């Protein structure tokens, strides 16, 4: 095991070998997979099937849960030209940042790429070249407890104002009944990429734009964005635990799935787990679009998702590409949608009867997925991570009550101008 892979193994504590053949002719491929919720297990099943079919061997390298930590690890490995990982699971916002280390898949994807959601294909392209294959799509969703809304006779919230009111009402009621750990609303507030996705939803829902617009103009310093941040910071310590300032997806799911919150913001993967056999909230959960920022605001879910890319430093790029095409193909996307509620990127699967039966929300929320708000990754190119980092750090300051929204946004505007200098 090389030094780099050994380091990854230490960081993540997990490297598994899968395969049926180790013949001299068979390639040994390694793939990085997320381990969020059931992701590792589901990735392993897919990889296993390919290994069996082709006689190759596959190692899975599990990665940190925080998107920001994962990117740092990838950048470290790739900057050193390490061939330890052949296939990378990459975030939809990293294609521009990592493309110089990736194999161009345009030729291989011909004939299949048009089957995928155009918004996600967009995130896979750099200068017209397809640098990764779409694997699954994410959009921020509102999870709510159907049973509690019924008990307290409250509708699913349409606006953030409604959400705040209902969260407070249910929290007070549950606490009076002795549930002292009960909260109104949990989400992702740690200073990392996940906070960027949450805060973009608040801001876009209030008509405050997307940090940087499609033309590359910095638009973040505006009153609607300030209003959105003010609303969110008002939740912390009232309907949202202060601990949210250190929550990623899994911490918020932990609270919600233990039955300790009425609302949660999360991605689709949380559905399969909430509905799992050992879940205390099985059959008590509903999913809806995230609330609007006031009556004239809009429902806004951030577009997320993951792609699979082949490293330029791979010694087995052909076999690695074959694995990518298999995992992103219809059979695997369907299995993942049914078993893990991972939203497909292949449009036809949204209407697949088996997918609709297993996880009806996937078909019901096609609108949310097609209209999801993209982060300004394509336009800011390899500066995106800097833009996002400045953004989530400033938002975190506001949520921790160390800065006023207006003050943080004008500082952010200045910092982003510095990152942009003469262009992205
Ligand atoms: C999910 C999304 C990804 C996003 C991340 C933030 O993994 O798929 O796009 O950046 O969450 O935590």
User: Best of 34, 91, 96 to mutate for ligand 1, by most ligand atoms within 8 A of CB?
Assistant: 91
| pLDDT of amino acid 366 | 80
Q: From the alpha carbon of 306, which atom of ligand 1 is closest? A: 8
CATH of 2-131+304-370, one of 1.20.120.530, 1.10.3090.10, 3.40.1390.10, 3.40.190.10: 3.40.190.10
pTM, entire model: 0.94
Distance 170 CA to ligand 1 centre (A): 29
The whole-angstrom separation of Cα 379 and Cα 376 is 6
Ligand 1 pocket residue status of 189, Cβ below 6 Å: no
Give residue 230's pLDDT band: very low, low, confident or very high (50, 70, 90).
very high
pLDDT higher than 90, residue 312: yes
pLDDT higher than 80, residue 334: yes
pLDDT tens across 155-184, in order?
Answer: 999 999 999 999 999 999 999 999 999 999
Give residue 233's pLDDT band: very low, low, confident or very high (50, 70, 90).
very high
The whole-angstrom separation of Cα 237 and Cα 151 is 24
Distance 286 CA to ligand 1 centre (A): 21
Domains 2-131+304-370 and 141-302+376-420 share a fold: yes
Query: If you average pLDDT over every residue of the chain, what do you get?
Result: 93
| pLDDT of amino acid 321 | 98
pLDDT tens across 94-104, in order?
Answer: 999 999 999 99
- Domain residue limits, the chain: 2-131+304-370, 141-302+376-420
Ligand 1 pocket residue status of 92, Cβ below 6 Å: yes
Q: Quote the CATH superfamily of domain 141-302+376-420.
A: Periplasmic binding protein-like II (3.40.190.10)
| pLDDT of amino acid 107 | 97
| pLDDT of amino acid 361 | 87
Q: From the alpha carbon of 197, which atom of ligand 1 is closest? A: 6
| pLDDT of amino acid 6 | 46
Distance 195 CA to ligand 1 centre (A): 10
Q: From the alpha carbon of 67, which atom of ligand 1 is closest? A: 12
User: Best of 34, 71, 192, 304 to mutate for ligand 1, by most ligand atoms within 8 A of CB?
Assistant: 304
| pLDDT of amino acid 25 | 61
% pLDDT > 70, the chain: 94
| pLDDT of amino acid 3 | 47
Give the closest residue to 139 by CA, choosing from 269, 247, 264, 274.
269
Ligand 1 pocket residue status of 138, Cβ below 6 Å: yes
């Amino acid at each position: 095991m090389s030094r780099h892979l050994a380091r990854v193994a230490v960081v993540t504590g997990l490297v598994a070998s899968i395969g049926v053949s180790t013949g001299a002719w068979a390639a040994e491929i390694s793939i990085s997979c997320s381990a969020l919720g059931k992701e590792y297990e589901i990735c392993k099943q897919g990889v296993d099937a390919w290994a069996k079919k082709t006689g190759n061997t596959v190692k899975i390298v599990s990665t940190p849960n925080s998107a920001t930590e994962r990117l740092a690890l990838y950048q470290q490995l790739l900057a050193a030209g390490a061939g330890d990982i052949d296939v990378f699971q990459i975030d939809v916002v990293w294609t521009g940042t990592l493309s110089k280390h990736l194999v161009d898949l345009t030729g291989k994807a011909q004939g299949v790429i048009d089957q995928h959601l155009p918004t996600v294909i967009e995130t896979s392209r750099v200068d017209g070249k397809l640098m990764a294959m779409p694997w699954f799509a994410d959009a921020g969703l509102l999870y709510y407890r159907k049973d509690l809304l019924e008990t307290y006779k409250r509708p699913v919230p349409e606006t953030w104002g409604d959400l705040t009111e209902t969260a407070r009402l249910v929290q007070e009621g549950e606490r009076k009944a002795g549930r002292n750990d009960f909260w109104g609303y949990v989400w992702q507030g740690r200073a990392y990429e996940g906070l960027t996705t949450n805060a973009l939803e608040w801001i876009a829902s209030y008509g405050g734009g997307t940090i940087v617009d499609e033309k590359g103009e910095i638009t973040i310093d505006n009153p609607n964005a300030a209003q959105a941040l003010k609303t969110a910071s008002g939740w912390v310590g009232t309907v949202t635990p202060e601990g949210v300032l250190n929550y990623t997806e899994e911490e918020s799911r932990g609270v919600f799935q233990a039955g300790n919150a009425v609302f949660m913001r999360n991605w689709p993967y949380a559905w399969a787990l909430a509905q799992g056999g050992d879940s205390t909230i099985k059959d008590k959960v509903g999913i809806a679009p995230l609330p609007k920022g006031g009556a004239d605001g809009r429902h806004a879910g951030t577009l997320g998702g993951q792609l699979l890319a082949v490293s330029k430093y791979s010694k087995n790029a052909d076999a690695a590409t074959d694995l990518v095409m298999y995992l992103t193909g219809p059979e695997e996307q369907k299995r993942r949608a049914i078993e893990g509620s991972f939203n497909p990127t292949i449009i036809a699967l949204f209407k697949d009867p088996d997918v609709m039966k297993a996880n009806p929300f996937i078909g019901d929320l096609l609108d949310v997925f097609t209209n999801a708000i993209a982060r300004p990754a394509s336009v800011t190119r390899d500066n995106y991570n800097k833009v996002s980092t400045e953004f989530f750090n400033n938002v975190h300051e506001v949520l921790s009550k160390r800065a006023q929204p207006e003050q943080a946004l004008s500082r952010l505007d200045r910092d982003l101008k510095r990152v942009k200098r003469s262009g992205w």
